[in-house]
Amino acid sequence: MAIQNAWLLRTLRDVPADAETAGHQLMLRAGLIRQTAAGMYAYMPLGLRVLRKLEAIVREEMERAGAQELLLPALQPAELWRQSGRYDVYGPELMTMTDRHNRSFVLGPTHEEAITSVMNGVINSYRQLPLTFFQIQVKFRDEMRPRSGLLRGREFLMKDAYSFHSDWDGLKRTYAVMYKAYCRIFNRCGLNYRAVMADAGAMGGDGDNHEFIALADIGEDTIAVCNSCQFAANVEKLQESLDEGTADQSETCPSCEQGKLEYCKGIEVGHTFQLGDKYSHSLGATVPGAHGRESELIMGCYGIGLSRLLATIVEQHHDQRGIIWPSAVAPYQVHMTIIAVKNEVQMKLAHQLYDRLAEVGIETLLDDRDERAGVKLHDAELIGIPIRIVVGKNADEHRVEYSERSSETKEVVHVEKALELLLQRIQLHRTHEI
């Protein structure tokens, strides 16, 4: 496995010309992704490992929140989108295709219509409710100008979830549980974010909805945050509050009326909606209530852009030398570099340590390429795995260099000490996660 591992290190020396943001540049340079068409990317093995970590965190928190996983087709009959009225709302952003029998399909950017249609045939008593489902699936959106790599792609990975209720009270209870799950997910991913009240936009619905905005200067969304209380809102929503509350368009917080508002740029990584009966009404999805009378299902929906989340983490966690992965989502925990692969002492010590790490389940990337030391150390900085072990000239004394990507300190220690240090560090992070 070691040799295959090392091959993953296909880094680029030059900054790709068309990559605007630091994160996009780093993802290309570190070999996480490769572009295949405008707004479409291949996840290379190193990038896919991070994506799988994100999926695992999301899956765990969705299941903790009581949601069940299913998987719907990507292709949806266009008729469903005409029934809900969204075929025209989405317009040219909707990717469509026609089959050999001339039937039209939508390449789903989201699945409200599809799941409402499936569940209408399945939910047959209010006693089954509430029910929440989620899926992790490829989505499509024909962006006019795809940009910033995975931040705004045309084919991307999402976690979308949908909850079904017999009344609004039920929806509000599940919504609160999902809101907490979202906070746990973004905290575990090491994201600096704010949850803000937002507008429903193309999704529609009567109830509250929240955007989860990761703070980043290159973001396309602007949010206002009070420097005194917990108030945070997107700017459109803020205009509403200000108009309603006071004619004075000042920078005083409309909630506590004391703090000042600060405006920040951010990236939307999640969105939760209280849809109400928007889709069940247009698609005729009903359930018999306690007294036998059919009533429309009340719904919520909850999305996280997983490929965008991956890109956002890189935007927030890097320096001039490369990525600095948070432990919980790092592609590997340990990056071990062998300085001279033709030196038998170094090779032997490195492989012994590699095997011991593998035994206790620690994922290690072993760089045993026959390359100059400088190239390999440079790649380790770029790829940004949390813990680095360099096996070099001190190998004959069983000593290695231990360092962490997030710190400037390097120390040459006995291999047993290095093992102890890295186990401590990994244990520390695992404890923090739970």
User: Cβ of residue 78: shortest distance to its own copies, in angstroms?
Assistant: 10
* The only residue of 95, 161, 226, 350 in contact with its own copies, by rule CB under 8 A: 95
Amino acid type, 311: A
* The only residue of 87, 105, 179, 279 in contact with its own copies, by rule CB under 8 A: 105
User: Cβ of residue 155: shortest distance to its own copies, in angstroms?
Assistant: 5
Give Rg (Cα) of the chain.
25
In three-state form (DSSP H/G/I as H, E/B as E, the rest C), the secondary structure along 120-154 is HCCCCCHHHCCEEEEEEEEEECCCCCCECHHHECC
- Among residues 291, 275, 306, 307, the alpha carbon closest in space to that of 119 is found at 275
* Binding residues for its own copies restricted to 41-70, rule: CB under 8 A: 41-45, 48, 51, 66, 68-70
Instruction: Please report, for residues 225, 231, 251, the alpha-carbon distance to residue 259 in angstroms, rounded to integers and kept in the order given.
Output: 9, 9, 9
- Among residues 336, 306, 309, 310, the alpha carbon closest in space to that of 402 is found at 336
Taking CB under 8 A as the rule, does residue 128 contact its own copies? yes
E strand or H helix that includes residue 389: strand 387-391
Tell me the sheet residues that pair with 412.
Answer: 401
DSSP string for residues in 394-407:
GGGGTEEEEEETTS
Q: What is the DSSP letter of 263?
A: E
Q: Which is nearer to its own copies, 79 or 404 (CB)?
A: 79
Taking CB under 8 A as the rule, does residue 171 contact its own copies? no
- Among residues 150, 149, 157, 52, the alpha carbon closest in space to that of 108 is found at 157
Taking CB under 8 A as the rule, does residue 107 contact its own copies? yes
SS3 call for 46:
helix
User: Cβ of residue 26: shortest distance to its own copies, in angstroms?
Assistant: 17
Q: Which is nearer to its own copies, 245 or 284 (CB)?
A: 284
Name the one range near its own copies by CB under 8 A: 14-22, 133-141, 224-232, 312-320. Answer: 133-141
* Binding residues for its own copies restricted to 185-214, rule: CB under 8 A: none
Taking CB under 8 A as the rule, does residue 332 contact its own copies? no
Name the one range near its own copies by CB under 8 A: 132-140, 198-206, 331-339, 342-350. Answer: 132-140
Structure tokens at 173: 């209870």
Taking CB under 8 A as the rule, does residue 140 contact its own copies? yes
Taking CB under 8 A as the rule, does residue 118 contact its own copies? yes
Q: Which is nearer to its own copies, 31 or 254 (CB)?
A: 31
Taking CB under 8 A as the rule, does residue 142 contact its own copies? yes
Taking CB under 8 A as the rule, does residue 121 contact its own copies? yes
| Contact status, residue 181 vs residue 62, Cβ threshold 8 Å | yes
Taking CB under 8 A as the rule, does residue 154 contact its own copies? yes
Instruction: Please report, for residues 18, 25, 51, the alpha-carbon distance to residue 64 in angstroms, rounded to integers and kept in the order given.
Output: 41, 35, 20
Burial track 55-91 (b if 16+ CB lie within 10 A, e otherwise)? eebbeebbeebebeeeebebebbbebbebbebbeebe
Site size with its own copies, rule: CB under 8 A: 51
* The only residue of 27, 54, 114, 349 in contact with its own copies, by rule CB under 8 A: 114
User: Cβ of residue 331: shortest distance to its own copies, in angstroms?
Assistant: 12
* Binding residues for its own copies restricted to 65-84, rule: CB under 8 A: 66, 68-77
Taking CB under 8 A as the rule, does residue 8 contact its own copies? yes
Name the one range near its own copies by CB under 8 A: 115-123, 217-225, 239-247, 389-397. Answer: 115-123
User: Cβ of residue 47: shortest distance to its own copies, in angstroms?
Assistant: 8
| Contact status, residue 405 vs residue 425, Cβ threshold 8 Å | no
Helices within 320-359 (DSSP H only): 344-359
Q: Which is nearer to its own copies, 37 or 247 (CB)?
A: 37
The residue ranges that bind its own copies (CB under 8 A) are 1, 4, 7-8, 10, 34, 36-37, 40-45, 48, 51, 66, 68-77, 92-93, 95-97, 99-100, 103, 105, 107, 114, 117-118, 121-122, 128, 131, 133, 138, 140, 142, 144, 154-155
